[in-house]
Structure 1
Amino acid sequence: MNILAILFTVIFSYLFGSLNSAIIVCRLWKKQDIRDYGSKNAGLTNVLRVYGKGPALATLLCDLAKGVIAVVVCRLLVHKVMGVEFFGDPHFIGYLAGLFVMLGHCFPVFYGFHGGKGVLLAATTLLAIDPLTCLCALVVFAVLLAITKYVSVGSIFASIAYPTFTFILQNFVYKDNYAVIPNTIMGVLICILIISLHHANIKRLMNGTENKFGQKKKEA
């Protein structure tokens, strides 16, 4: 049953994360394929440019909801239906679901393994798992963004804060026999995933060509 619970969590979360909100929203709302219009990119920015704020907002909300839904569904089915709990901790399966829904979002099997960077999705999965840790990571993001004016810098340091505060809070604050090490390892993997997807941003930061928040995009 434990293996079945892990397989379900991994497969469901990855496939659910692979669903592209922009394509689905535009098909349902406009009866069109967003990949045929504008920049032909199935992303939030192209939806906003082609169809306006309504479909763009729906796309954003669907993307954000993916993390929450994956975590909640997996925790309910694994714990309530299968009766499985790993490491004596009800949160671990949420971290596992969070990791694989992000992998699906960033490398979607339905769309050539080309997706987003998963920063907002990481926030919503963490919100569903551990709201206090999520708040700490968001504070780090906001502070670094305010200081540097770089969204990428805020995102990178927030991703580092993810496993850091997971370890600190679960080890020294909650003290409820949480699976501190396995949960922290999941957080580290998510951190590595986010940072690796920001490699181009890191290169631009080093070259001094990264765009600051609110700044018009620089010409290549």
Structure 2
Amino acid sequence: MLPYIVIVFCCIAAYLIGSCNSAIIVTKLLKHEDIREFGSKNAGLTNVLRCFGKGPALATLVSDLLKGCLTILVIKAVVKAAGFTGDIMTVGYIAGLLVMLGHVFPVWYGFKGGKGVLVTATVLLAIDPLTFAVVIPVFIIMLVITKYVSVSSITAAVAYPIVTFVMQYFIRHLELGPVLVHTGFAALSGILIVYMHRANIQRLKEGTENKFSFSKK
């Protein structure tokens, strides 16, 4: 019983930690501004880079990396220490989804956060590095080809559950049951990312979407 109680508390903690939005915190501390009032109004890395430059963007990147990776690694360690003997990867996926939900719908900021791309990537790094090593190049290749972060993010989000299934079932030969569960959580994360890009999709249709650039606007 104790391991499952610990899992519940860890999942609550995952959401609360996810709700600590790095883009908002960094721009408040470094620029004394609210990133949600600039550019695309999105509290995410790309908007920080466009509006405040490389320094704040790098700080946001590192903060989100630590938030996603460390949260999952610590939760997995705590759950193991509590005596949980089940599929620890599934625990990682559950906690990871809650970190993402916290980032996208942060309780501390009126449930208005980022789009969840970076934090999902950092969470994936801690859960399944092999899948991460395939999905990230998909993002990078699409960014090089299209110059649109939104298109790259949506493509990677769609690829995420597909790559998860292929890598875990056909490459690592994990049991089908857990693989389907993991793929389901990956699909939920991917669907949420696509949903959070609905405004970008509309701008792409209208031809008004901004292309990626390292230059501050």
TM-score bracket for this pair, using the shorter chain length: 0.7 to 0.9
Q: Secondary structure at the match of 1:34?
A: coil
The residue aligned with 2:186 is 187
Unaligned runs of 5+ in 2: none
Task: Give 1:22 shift.
Answer: 4.3
The residue aligned with 1:206 is 205
Unaligned runs of 5+ in 1: none
1:97-128 deviation digits (Å, cap 9, x = unpaired): 11110100111001100111111111111111
State the percentage of identical aligned residues: 50
In the superposition, the TM-score normalised over structure 2's length comes to 0.83
Q: How does 1:92-171 map to 2 (within 5 A)?
A: 92-171=90-169
Task: Give 1:149 shift.
Answer: 2.2
**Paired residue type of 2:82:** M
How large is the Cα RMSD of the aligned pairs?
3.0
The residue aligned with 1:13 is 14
Say which one has the larger Rg. Answer: 1
1:180-219 deviation digits (Å, cap 9, x = unpaired): 01111110110011000000011112222222223999xx
1:115–1:169 Cα change, 3 Å:
same
Task: Give 1:67 shift.
Answer: 0.7
Equivalenced residue count is 211
1:33–1:187 Cα change, 3 Å:
same
* Conservation of the 8 A alpha-carbon contact between 1:170 and 1:180: yes
In the superposition, the TM-score normalised over structure 1's length comes to 0.82
Q: Which has the higher contact order (CA 8 A, sep 6+)?
A: 2
Quote the Cα distance in structure 2 between the aligned partners of 1:60 and 1:49.
15
Task: Give 1:24 shift.
Answer: 4.2
Task: Give 1:48 shift.
Answer: 8.2
